[in-house]
Amino acid sequence: MHVIATAGHVDHGKSTLVRALTGMEPDRWAEERRRGMTIDLGFAWTTLGSGEVVAFVDVPGHERFVPNMLAGIGPVPAALVVVAADEGWMPQSAEHLAALNALGVSHGLLVVTRSDLFDPALATAEAQEQIAATSLGAVDAVAVSAVTGAGLDDLRAALDALVARLPAPDRDAPVRLWVDRSFTIRGAGTVVTGTLGAGRLRPNDELELAASGRPVRVRGLQSLGAPVAEAAAVARVAVNLRGIERDEVGRGDALVTPGRFHRTDVVDVRLAGDPVADLPSTLTLHVGSAAVAVRIRPLGVDTARLRLDAALPLRVGDRALLRDPGRHHVAGGVTVLDVSPPPLRRRGAAAARARELSTMDGVPSQSDELRRRGLVRRPELERMGVPAAGTPVAGDWLADPDHWSALRKRLAEEVADYARDHPLETGAPVDALRHALGLPDRALVDALVAPPLTARSGRIAQAGQGSSLPGPVADAVDRVRADLEGDPFRAPEAARLAELGLGPRELAAAVRAGALVRVADGVVLLPGALDEAVAVLSRVSQPFTLSDARQALGTSRRVAVPLLEMLDRSGATRRLPDDRRVVAGEVDG
Ligand SMILES: Nc1nc2c(ncn2[C@@H]2O[C@H](COP(=O)(O)OP(=O)(O)OP(=O)(O)O)[C@@H](O)[C@H]2O)c(=O)[nH]1
């Protein structure tokens, strides 16, 4: 299926043309038929000679209803520009064409209607000249009369040629269905309609309402008035939603694939049309079927930051238009360059941003996005409309290669600084490094570790750091070693340790380095002491009491109690119910 919108001045015969082509009545409301005027969007469809089906979105021509017209053409890739032969080019012909141009619509036809009333040559030439200057370029023109039927066959042939040229939609893309109507059907509940420009929909699909983030489920699906098991882009669809009331969804909202669109109320854009400096500070932004007020902050000659009154699911490369509703004037076309732009707080940030934006083209590119952001999560990139590829550096983080090697260099410097400031520790804690490098995720720090750095138990060290003790600590340990010679279980008293300069941190470092063994807080022995204790105890009569052990080892309770508990825990000794112990492997009794 293809979807084509009409465009053109009020009363130039758009609805009559759609009726003649489809045999259907596009004006939906009694009021519209009574007044002979389209107020809101109408829909009708036909099968062309080739078998291709075309659905028409028929838009109102009256200037009061331009917002409705924009909601209809927003998501549609092609247009029929309709001009009446007897009236020629008129103000809304111009405004509608300006809107198509602003949105970058590049496929269409010129249809000159009411050719039975007036020679269509003049209107055709005039309109073709106007259209040639826009994104539509040189278009085929067909003169028709709905009264005599003249030209309708030519028009059908021209439509076939047109749809054959339309680019193939991306049917694997996530869904963003801009809602153009919502209503209630008795027994079915809430139904929304829209033009599906990409992706596909099926009953039971889980979607999200962009405005509220509410999850919804597709209960039923219709296209061209009949239930379907799948609708693939491009298609007109009516979606029956489960879990949502009629007043919770309306025109301008969108049904989106969960997690795949970035909802944003600030975007940086390129503008085409009126000079940026001449724009009023507020205008209405039309994108998809949505219309929201925006405040405009000019940045460069053709770039600006837009602050939206309501967040929308936007992507890099989206086309939109700015309109001044008071003046009935399309101020310009918008190409979204950045959907999560950096704040402009520092002095000079706006100028720097303007320079950066001047190099951006609205074509989503992973390498550009990574260069600007350094690091970005893959799903976030996808939400911005940037196709993501390549291997993440950690988790789902993608990194710009230059940024990544700069981070690796900084990590090495931070680790070296930390080693200098904390010579007794076995490395810098990962969290401190994460903070110092301003990284959002610990996994990134771990991923940055490469030789000669090593990671162990939450710390990152330079090769060799922590395995040798700084001079003064090593000297103090030598003195402890001398004290313990010949008296291996008489652990140095607190006063002696203080005298040697061995505080808790120095002791911990010496224990980590394997120079001392910790028995209890402030109680240290030489590394061989435990084996030696077992040897001594295995020579006393079994089982033995604490006091027996203390005497055999020649030490105090301060050492003997924790030492025996350590030996119990290691399985070298066993404590009996009567509190006496045996050395494992020795005979009880
Ligand atoms: N003689 C003649 N009259 C036509 C032709 N096409 C449309 N008309 C008449 O022109 C008038 C306006 O036609 P519509 O189709 O309602 O125009 P429209 O462009 O849809 O109008 P809006 O949707 O309100 O902008 C009607 O009275 C039609 O009968 C034609 O080919 N020949």
Q: How far is the CA of 324 from the centre of ligand 1 (A)?
A: 28
Q: Are 433 and 579 found together in one domain?
A: no
**62 DSSP 8-state letter:** S
185, 159: one domain? no
Residue 569 sits in a domain whose CATH number is 1.10.10.10
How far is residue 151's CA from residue 233's CA, in Å, rounded to a whole number? Answer: 30
Indicate whether 129 and 9 sit together in one domain.
yes
Model-level ipTM above the cut of 0.90: yes
For residue 12, which atom of ligand 1 is closest to its CA?
19
Average pLDDT, the chain: 88
- Comparing CA positions, the residue from 175, 201, 169 lying closest to residue 258 is 175
Q: Ligand 1 pocket: which of 6, 9, 11, 66 to mutate (most atoms <8 Å of CB)?
A: 11
Specify the residue for token string 């983080």. 397
Res. 30 pLDDT band, cuts 50 70 90: low
In a domain, 588, yes or no: no
Work out the pLDDT band at 240, boundaries 50, 70, 90: very high
* Ligand 1 atom at shortest distance from the alpha carbon of 37: 24
pLDDT of residue 549: 95
Give residue 101's pLDDT.
93
Ligand 1 centroid to residue 296 C-alpha, Å: 39
- Whether residue 586 has pLDDT greater than 70: no
Using an 8 Å Cβ cutoff, are 349 and 374 in contact?
no
In terms of residue numbers, what domain contains 502? 488-583
Pocket test for ligand 1, best of 9, 10, 16 (most atoms within 8 A of CB): 16
Are residues 252 and 273 both part of a single domain? no
pLDDT for 385: 74
The answer, yes or no, to whether the previous bond of 452 is cis (omega within 30 of 0) is yes
Give the end of a domain, one of 412, 447, 462.
462
Q: For the whole model, what pTM was predicted?
A: 0.72
Q: Answer yes or no: is 74 within a domain.
A: yes
What is each CA distance from 500 to 229, 469, 476, 503, in whole angstroms? Answer: 83, 15, 6, 9
Ligand 1 atom closest to Cα of residue 92: 25
Please check whether residue 480 lies inside any domain of the structure: no
What confidence tier does 64 reach under pLDDT thresholds 50, 70, 90?
A: confident
**Looking at per-residue confidence, does 177 or 378 come out higher?**
177
Work out whether the CA dihedral 231, 237, 240, 241 comes out positive or negative: positive
Read off the pLDDT of each residue in 288-300 and give the average, rounded to a whole number: 93
Work out how many domains the chain is built from and give that number.
5
3-state secondary structure of 274: coil
Q: How confident is the model at residue 528 (pLDDT cuts 50, 70, 90)?
A: confident
What band does 589 get if pLDDT is binned at 50, 70 and 90? very low
Taking the CA atoms of 163, 164, 170 and 171 in sequence, report the sign of the dihedral they define.
positive
Q: Can you give the CATH number for the domain in which 305 is found?
A: 2.40.30.10
**Across-strand partners of 217?**
206, 242
**Residues 6+ away with beta carbon under 8 Å from 307:** 265, 266, 294, 295, 297
Q: Is residue 474 part of a domain?
A: no
Same domain, 287 and 378: yes
Q: Whose CA is nearest to atom 14 of ligand 1?
A: 13
Q: How far is the CA of 396 from the centre of ligand 1 (A)?
A: 57
**Is 407 found in the same domain as 495?**
no
Element (H, E) at 141: strand 140-143
As for ligand 1, residues whose beta carbon falls within 6 Å of it are: 8, 10-16, 36-38, 60-62, 113-114, 116-117, 145-147
Whole-number Å distance between alpha carbons of 422 and 96: 70
Question: Are 161 and 214 members of one domain?
Answer: no
Question: How far apart are the C-alpha atoms of 249 and 179, rounded to whole Å?
Answer: 8
